């Protein structure tokens, strides 16, 4: 439910609210939220300052939890755009 709330906040262009949802889930070990945190930090979005090191750390954590897409920012790559 909280992940969907984060997605809804993104759709509503409320990045800071989305970040709060995703960050809480990321800290609880939810890989898609960890990937999203990596993206926010890699792009300097959702009220966060661009931080490549922190982005790489979140991406690596997501990857260790089974999210292969989460590894892409750590490798300097971007996931394919839909």
Quickly list DSSP for 26-67.
HHTT-HHHHHHHHHHHHHT-TT----HHHHHHHHHHHHHTT-
Q: What pTM did the predictor assign?
A: 0.80
Instruction: Give, for all 82 residues of the chain, the pLDDT tens digit.
Output: 789 999 999 999 999 999 999 999 999 999 999 999 998 999 888 889 899 889 989 988 998 888 876 556 555 655 555 4
Phi and psi for 9 in degrees, rounded to 5?
-65, -40
Return d(Cα 75, Cα 4) in angstroms, integer.
Answer: 27
Phi and psi for 79 in degrees, rounded to 5?
-65, 155
């Amino acid at each position: 439910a909280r992940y969907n709330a984060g997605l809804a906040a993104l759709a509503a262009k409320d990045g800071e609210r989305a970040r709060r949802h995703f960050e809480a889930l990321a800290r609880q070990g939810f890989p898609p939220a960890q990937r999203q945190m990596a993206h926010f930090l890699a792009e300097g979005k959702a009220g966060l300052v661009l931080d490549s090191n922190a982005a790489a750390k979140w991406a690596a954590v997501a990857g260790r939890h089974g999210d292969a897409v989460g590894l892409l920012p750590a490798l300097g790559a971007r996931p394919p755009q839909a």
